[in-house]
C-alpha cells in the first residue's frame, strides 16, 4: 500500500513539480529509494553516497522526526504520511 510523501518547495522541481508523491515502501529507506529510482535528482538530495540520510534533510513519519524513531529503518503503517523538510541551522561560528 503506497504512502503519501510530502515534499518541501525546494525539492519539488526534482520531482517534476509535484508537492506530494504516492510511493510504495514498508520502511522510510524503501520509500526514499523508490522515490530516488523514479526521480534520480531527488536521490542525491536526500541520501548520501553511503545511503545515509543527508544531514540537511529532516524526514518525518506522521508527527515524528525519524532520527528519533528508527531512522531510515522506521517502519511505515499503511496510512503513514512521510514529510520532508530542510533542516534549518546555522550560527555565528
Partner 1 sequence: MDPSSGAAPGGSAGGSPGLRIDGATLATMVAHCLGAYPEEGCGLLVGPEGSGRVVRCVPTDNVAHSAALYTVEPRAHLRADRAAEADGLAVVGVFHSHTHTDPYPSPTDVAQAPDPGWHYVLVSLRHELASVRSYRIVDGRVEEEDVTVLPDGSGGSPGSI
Binding site for partner 1 (CB under 8 A): 8-10, 56, 58, 60, 63-65, 67, 83, 85-93
Query: What is the nearest approach in angstroms of partner 1 to the Cβ of residue 6?
Result: 9
Query: What is the nearest approach in angstroms of partner 1 to the Cβ of residue 67?
Result: 8
Q: How many residues does the chain have?
A: 93
Nearer to partner 1, 27 or 83 (CB): 83
Nearer to partner 1, 78 or 91 (CB): 91
Burial of 7 (0-12, 13-18, 19+ CB in 10 A): buried
Nearer to partner 1, 78 or 90 (CB): 90
Residues 28 and 26: their CA atoms lie apart, in Å, by: 7
Q: Are 4 and 81 in contact (CB under 8 A)?
A: yes
Amino acid at each position: 500500500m503506497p504512502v503519501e510523501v510530502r515534499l518541501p518547495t525546494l525539492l519539488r522541481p526534482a520531482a517534476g513539480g509535484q508537492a506530494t508523491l504516492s510511493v510504495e515502501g514498508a520502511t522510510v529507506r524503501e520509500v526514499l529509494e523508490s522515490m530516488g529510482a523514479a526521480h534520480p535528482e531527488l536521490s542525491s538530495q536526500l541520501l548520501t553516497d553511503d545511503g545515509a540520510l543527508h544531514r540537511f534533510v529532516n524526514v518525518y513519519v506522521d508527527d515524528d522526526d525519524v532520527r528519533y524513531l528508527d531512522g531510515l529503518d522506521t517502519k511505515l503503517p499503511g496510512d503513514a504520511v512521510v514529510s520532508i523538510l530542510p533542516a534549518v541551522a546555522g550560527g555565528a561560528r
